[in-house]
Amino acid sequence: MHIPVLVDEVTNLLDLQPGEVVIDATVGDGGHANKILEHINPGGFLLGIDRDPEAVTFTYEKLSINQQSNQFAIRHGSYCDLDVILKNCGYSGADGILFDLGLSSRQLSNRRGFSFKETAPLDMRFDPESELTAEEIVNSYPKDKLANLLWEFGEERASRRIADAIFKARQKNRIATTTELADIVSSAKGGRKGKIHPATQTFQALRIAVNQELEAIRETLPKAIDLLHPSGRLAVISYHSLEDRIVKQQFRNLYKQGQINLITKKPVRATRSEILNNPRARSAKLRVIEKI
């Protein structure tokens, strides 16, 4: 079962009120969305967006159990298009917007290759209709390009050694599954030496590249600010330094330009009790701003 992170912190810092319009731009399995609806009803409206069609179906059915259909809409799409999607729902702006940039437990357990804990196709697409897959990257990218990708998106220090190992392995047989790739990476790095699996950063890099995650958040944050009503708030939960760096820099620039107030001057982290209950909350960082 997926457990959303920093739920109380998100709802409190967004300062949600009855009757407000809120966008959950990465609705996932609806953990935050369900709590948001509790705060904005009666009279509120929630728009949930996700690139994963399975998440859209799951969350719509989940929310429909306790909520009236006119109180929310769950749409399949990219948060890069959140302005168009919101307009199509009949609204021109929002009082609150949330981006939770992590993977859900259901995504990690499905067979799209996000996890190396079980054998699955090397896919890693949030949206199955997207063209680029991790398998294509692993088997077709030139060695130098692959090494640069692992360094840029995974901050993997052994990027060139791993790229060389992948290049040699794919000359013998196409690399098609998560466990094949994980074994190649682990061997290239000399096996497991600590709690973190040697392939963790490689899988992160491939997932980011397949879904163009960093480009998407750079493009969308200014668009989200434009959508906010005055005094509206934007919250972003990131899980690794690459995402958090982008969010921090964009918020800092907007603050210097006088467009926003920083509600959180430093990122909010999960409490020890939440981490014990939900270990994936350990790396979560929440930043919140308010539009002037």
C-beta neighbour count of 237 within 10 angstroms: 28
Check pLDDT > 80 for residue 108.
no
Predicted confidence (pLDDT) per residue in 115-156, tens digit: 888 899 999 999 999 999 999 999 999 999 999 999 999 999
Q: How far apart are CA 108 and CA 26, in angstroms?
A: 16
* 7-106+213-291 against 110-211: fold identical: no
Q: Which of 190, 108, 206 is nearest to 148 (CA)?
A: 206
Place of tokens 């790095």: 189
Within 8 A by CB and 6+ apart from 30, the residues are 48, 58, 59, 62, 63
Place of tokens 């799209």: 112
Q: Which of 125, 26, 21 is nearest to 79 (CA)?
A: 26
Spans of all domains in the chain: 7-106+213-291, 110-211
Q: How far apart are CA 267 and CA 285, in angstroms?
A: 5
Mean pLDDT along residues 241-252: 97
CATH T-level assignment (fold) for domain 110-211: DNA polymerase; domain 1 (1.10.150)
Q: For the structural domain made of 7-106+213-291, what CATH number should be given?
A: 3.40.50.150
Q: Are 141 and 206 in contact (CB under 8 A)?
A: no
At 196, the pLDDT band (50, 70, 90 cuts) reads: confident
